[in-house]
Amino acid sequence: MSVKGSGRRRARWMPGGVAAGMLLLAASAGNGRAAATGILHLRCSNPASGASWSTVVDLARGKVDSFPAKISENWISWHDPKQGFFDLDRATGALQLRNASSTGGYFLHYVCRPD
């Protein structure tokens, strides 16, 4: 993933799609038991470029794809050694990537919806 400073465009939000994603992610949080069971199939995308990928959250095993994750009613957080630290807001579907670099690091923002 690369970050382009001056060529950035404003993200265009699709309220209906975001609302549907929020409902599914919030429903999966439910009470303590619902948060600990099931599998979420998500499609995460960069709202500016449209680049997207699929990811699988295994709530019962506490994993995102093959990486260990911290899963709460509000957040799902995991670390991919090749990319960085991810934090997914379950209520909104907002995904943030934090990565350290020799120039101080950077943040990238994505939106995840049910796949």
40 neighbors 51 (Cβ within 8 angstroms): no
* pLDDT level of residue 16 (50, 70, 90 thresholds): very low
pTM: 0.69
Q: How far is CA 76 from CA 8, 15, 71, in A?
A: 27, 22, 5
Q: State residue 53 phi and psi, 5-degree precision.
A: -155, 160
Say yes or no to pLDDT of 13 above 70. Answer: no
Q: 31-35, 48-52, 85-89, 108-112: which has the minimum mean pLDDT?
A: 31-35
Span 25-59, pLDDT tens digits: 444 444 443 444 699 999 999 999 999 999 999 99
User: DSSP letters along 56-112, please?
Assistant: EEETTTTEETTEEEEE-SSEEEEEETTTEEEEEETTT-EEEEEE--TTS-EEEEEEE
Please choose, from the candidates 26, 15, 21, 17, the residue with its C-alpha nearest in 3D space to the C-alpha of residue 91.
26
